[in-house]
Structure 1
Amino acid sequence: MTSLDLVPGLITTREEVAAVYGGSIYSGGIVPAPKSNALFVFSDPAAGAKHGYTFDGWAEDDDEGPLFLYTGAGGTGHQEMVRGNKSLMDTLSNGRTIHLFVSSGRVKGKKLVMQRYVGRVKLDESEPVVERQAPDSAHEMRRVFVFRLRPATEDGLNVLEGDVQPPAQEFSQVELPKKPKIPAQPGTKDKATEQHTTPQTTANVPGGPRTVHRREGLLCTAFEEFLESQGHVCKSFQITVPGEPGTFTPDLYDATDNVLYEAKGLTTRNNVRTAIGQLLDYRRHIKDVPDGMRLAVLLPDEPTPDVRALLESLGIALVTRTPEGFAGFPLSMVEAPLSPIHG
């Protein structure tokens, strides 16, 4: 084969793709193709389920648009940011294009898997990867990387009903360690690391440029580090709910003071309202924590007096960032001269 036009909806095979664009057909689901400056990602939820790859699929759209989740490489033990996973992460800095395929049955009479070309995607520039817990083929819980993919062009993607994340079959709550910090990789620091330490960037997504705010993640990381400096133990939870796809994960749980936090990068009424709803929803599902778990909203600065009053009326604490550190409740987290919040 000398040509193969990658048009969304195309049905092909890995062998045909490799023959034209390069890359190995034996290197797992993440296939670098240096000769065409591309990287091919093959998702096969049915085959991956035995390795705990239950995160793959189209997730619910968020403020930044469509989102496809893809579980990284490594079928047993903790996944590491090496080989295919590193190749995918490195696209943030090396300019390689990412092309997404989803399995589409088998060639009649053969074991050859057909692949449907979904389209060109890119890593989410605000949060390219998250860390989750999943069982491997030996049913041992381990760390997996879940990459967050966004449409990369306005050409459209071939998305079918069967591509969505399957709903969870049962309730589960898995304890997560403190918010994972994916290590910087050699060769990616110049661009990728800089992107994730600035408050915002402009991402080109379908519909025009969109400002992607990173304030929330930076705020949460800084507060977590502050709590740990005070001797607190921080973690979170990975929760599934029957009948609903995917997982949801609170921003931060301070196990030392039994406080659940939701961080917002902007101090607006709508952001605080959203945080309130998230906290109340999380509290319904979080189990196996001491009685009396408190709720708190973490903000980058002071909200308006009426928004403060709203939180106080609901018994939800407020912590804000200050030039000296963080001010707020519970008081055991702060030291003078930081001012506590009493209304």
Structure 2
Amino acid sequence: MATWLLNCNPKTFKLDEYHDAGEVLNSWTIARFRDEVAAGDEFVLWVSGPNAGIAAYGHFTGPAEYGQVDPEYWTTDPGQKHFVPLDVDKWLDLRIPKAQLAGDARMAEASILRQPFAGNPHRLSDDQWRAIREAIDAAESSAPDWHLNPGDTIRRTELHSLYGGSSQGEISPSGTSDNILIFTEAGSGHQRGYLDTWNEDGTFHYTGEGRTGDQRMIRGNKAIFEHRDTGKRLRLFEGTRGTVRYLGEWTLDQEQAYSWAEAPETEGGPLRQIIRFHLVPVRTSITAPEVEVGQDYIIVDEEVAPAPAAPSTPDPDLVGRNLSTHRRLQNRLAQEAQDRGLIVLSPSATDPDFDLAWRDGRGRLTVCEVKSLMRANETRQLRAGLGQVLDYKDQLTERTTDVAAVLWIEREPAEIRWVNLCRQVGVTLAWPGREDAVFSRIHNGGQI
């Protein structure tokens, strides 16, 4: 069984548009080795250009064929060509960059490096295939060269000495590691024209760099936007100088990577266009029973001042009033649980992204999702909250056998059917004034 490299020139085939559209890659045109490719052969997909590297891997499902090629994503009509049928086993979250592979001695004779304009496919030797697979396996692992856990604090000077990047500015791409270090001061950044905001669904909107004039997709902003293509990991920190706190690894939302908004320049200057990157957390799924769930509860900041939602924001309710109410509800419920002698928890980096959880004296776990409600968004919020807490319960059942689920909302719902619906699927729906019922259920195993 042979191994191959397929090269994609983005100037002739619009691979990113193809992938973003959800199309299934099931063939690739080839110009040589047509009698040698066979079903079961493995391949990697290489994208050429400034951010060249490995973007996917898979296997061939048959021998070469000949026929008309669908021209939709080609810059010119390809006509009839030889092609090989295939299945993509996985698209990589982070591209394996050319520079990394070129630095491996086993790749010295690889034709993609020595003859990059040769036709597809490129044959890979056993050593070349091992070099590429090792790079892929390392990229898909838990970043062994990174030693900070979410919540850890470190002096920024020490951080840069370990992982590279500039100690100046809020976006710091590293030239010595596969990281982009980004820094936020969500509580005070608005004074400098930065509108970083935490959203009720656990995502984060991060303002690009550039304090005066319209921001552009250059330098640090470009590095964030292309981080998957360049194989870089986004590392978010709270604070910009002195001691900073690590907030984990993040990635761009695949449905909407960024939006545009208006904000004043530093110190209240004129309005200008800013980039708001839509970040979602990268979490590691751990199901081993011996891995403890949660960490000590972290009080969330109720004094939030999110920016006005841009017209393209997917959920305009995730701003201002909803976020403040959500956090107030969450902190009050956490305090109530603590006052009743329960151990209150926030999620750790290895947990699903629940709002809070608690354990009783017998070690039984309750996971809770909190939702604010307005008349205009009540049904949407209840649907989302129920789905989230069921997902959390299901994931945590792999690690502890006795898990209860609570959906805690701002007020009694307009339709009482929601209480019955939640009860049917094993979720307690409650709101302020129903605390006794919630904690009685947890202690006695009853239902509201």
Give TM-score scaled by structure 1 length. 0.48
Task: Pick 1 or 2: higher relative contact order, CA cutoff 8 A, min separation 6.
Answer: 1
Structure label with greater radius of gyration: 2
Give TM-score scaled by structure 2 length. 0.39
Higher strand share: 1
